[in-house]
Amino acid sequence: MITSFLKTIALTTAAFAFVACGNNEAPATSSSSVEAETTKPAITKFNAYTQRFADETFLTQSHATGHVDDVFFTHWKDGGEASFKLDGKGNFTINWIGGNYNYVGGPGWEYGDKHRVIGYNLSEDSGASYVTLYGWGYDKDMDPTGPSHLVEYYIIQRWVRTPAQGGEEGITFMSNGVEYTTYRTLRKEKPSINNTATFYQYWSKPKEQMALGEDHKIIFADHVNAWEQSGWKIPNMNNFDASDDPTYQVFAVEVFLVEKSGTASGRVWEHKD
């Protein structure tokens, strides 16, 4: 969850989401005050995405989005104390203090790619609500009254709260030796990357939680195919058409309404076979 997604204060669901805060974006706190030189064009449609930092970046403010070198990040909280440290190799550490608030953030990409294979190694997780691959799909050419035109997705890896509570169960499938089950939930008139809307959430939940200290792969195409085989439509996951955010994809850590303080740390990369 993400931004990039402005959340409701009612945190009674097990879902999460957040939006980059555009012109209201607070400046990031970085170990380097010099923005990274890059040959990649800045994302000018969304002001929050123009921040680029060359060195390890440490975030403590309420929300920020941008890049450390070429690693995209999101960082959002509605209160409490949580921080996010990230370097240009995808190494990250998220610390949180227990309390009645919601935090979500992580490294990833400013656009989705159905063929992306995500590699990660989570060295520590002391009680995050979810550790998940998270992102959005949006298709301006699909019927805007149909929830499938806008999809928020979660490929859960670890959890302390049950994902997709009350959702419709789809199929069970195997991906990279891991058994997952798909679920679909509906969000009615909630904030999203395209203003307030009614949209679906697609979930993949593994039978068992992923182990710490090991390299793992998330083969995104397997999950997209499984959602399709569940009978669910898939919108475009690589565009800048939405009003508030592009269809980004991040390896996210979420904590909400947690009693205990904790840490999640590791590294995320795009896996090349």
Q: What's the CA gap between 223 and 154, in Å, rounded? A: 10
Q: Give the count of beta carbons closer than 10 Å to the beta carbon of residue 160.
A: 14
Catalytic residue among 152, 169, 228, 259: 152
Instruction: Give the span between the Cα atoms of 76 and 84, in whole angstroms.
Output: 10
Task: Tell me phi and psi for residue 101, to 5 degrees.
Answer: -155, 175
DSSP secondary structure code for residue 212 in this structure: T
**Contact criterion met (CB below 8 Å) for 216 and 120:** yes
Q: Is 124 a catalytic residue?
A: no
Cα torsion 96, 163, 66, 190: sign: negative
Residue 179 backbone phi and psi in degrees, to 5: -90, 125
Question: Which DSSP string do the residues of 158-201 spell out, in sequence order?
Answer: EESS-TTTTPEEEEEEEETTEEEEEEEEEEEEEEEBTEEEEEEE
Which of the residues 35, 254, 259, 270 is marked catalytic?
254
The DSSP output letter for 94 is: E
* Residues sharing a CB contact under 8 Å with residue 149, sequence separation 6 or more, in sequence order: 138, 139, 140, 142, 143, 199, 235
Catalytic: 208? Answer: no
Point out the residues that are catalytic.
152, 254
